[in-house]
Amino acid sequence: MTLAPRRALLALATLLPGAALAQALTPAQREEVLGLLRQSLRDDPSILREALAGLEQAEARDREAAQGRALAQHADALFRDAGDPVRGNPQGRVAMVEFFDARCGYCKQMHPVMEQLLARERDLRVVLKDLPILGPNSVLATRALLAAQRQNGYGPLHDALMRLREDTTEPVLRREAERLRLDWPRLRREMEEPAVTARIERNVTLARALEIQGTPAFIIGTTILPGATDLATLQGLVARARAG
């Protein structure tokens, strides 16, 4: 067997799992490769770090590719569901999706940032996806928001809950709804309708399909951005989506 450079052999061993390596080489060749790898690691341990970094980069590329396929597959449900509440310019040429939980502290932290973004980006349409993942009161708040949408009150109630520093118990929701002059008896009744339950289930299913595991999560173009971020980052993504 002609000996390849040590780094090339290390890359080969890293990229091929043990079973694949055993099938690709004869027993004698395998022992020769493993011996060379052991000696290479003793001489220069940084080789292993480089190989692991290469693997991580390859895995990141695979994740991005899978993410892109999932976004393309679910584009209609994400960006073009006529039933979804929208902030900003309803006819905006740039669309962003925000998954949020009304009780999520990071979502509340992002609320003023999103207000600044919408004030600066006049062609931005933000599609809101309620994702109640923080317990029963999150579900209660989501039901209230989706029921308020039927009274054209989703936006005002959303703003109120994002600024709220209390838990979204039913008495608090009633107080906020009545303060906004929403019909509470009707809202409370419609909170339990099957259509509201179905919308929540669709949002949860969509989040799972995209491997969104927490809130907030933002989607713009082919990018999924998990967690709270800053205005400059969001503006950069909007600019890139607009240019693309």
| More confident site: 239 or 56 | 239
- Name 47's bridge partners: none
Lowest mean pLDDT among 53-67, 130-144, 206-220: 53-67
Task: Say yes or no: 26 and 125 in one domain.
Answer: no
Task: Say yes or no: 22 and 86 in one domain.
Answer: no
Q: Would you say residue 1 lies in a domain?
A: no
Q: Which amino acid is at 32?
A: E
What's the average model confidence in pLDDT over 196-201?
97
What's the average model confidence in pLDDT over 184-193?
98
Give the CATH number for residue 84.
3.40.30.10
pLDDT at 63: 61
Q: Would you say residue 21 lies in a domain?
A: yes
Q: Dmax of the chain from CA atoms?
A: 83
Domain count, the chain: 2
What's the average model confidence in pLDDT over 121-129?
97
Alpha helices in the chain (DSSP H): 6-15, 18-24, 27-43, 46-73, 75-79, 105-120, 136-148, 154-163, 170-179, 184-190, 194-209, 231-243
Selection from 16, 15, 13 nearest residue 31 by Cα: 13
Residues 6+ apart with CB under 8 A from 12: 4, 21, 33
What's the average model confidence in pLDDT over 218-223?
92
pLDDT digits (tens, 9 = 90+) for 60-110: 565 666 677 888 999 999 999 999 999 999 999 999 999 999 999 999 999
pLDDT digits (tens, 9 = 90+) for 17-66: 555 555 666 777 777 777 777 777 777 777 666 766 666 676 556 566 66
What's the average model confidence in pLDDT over 106-124?
97
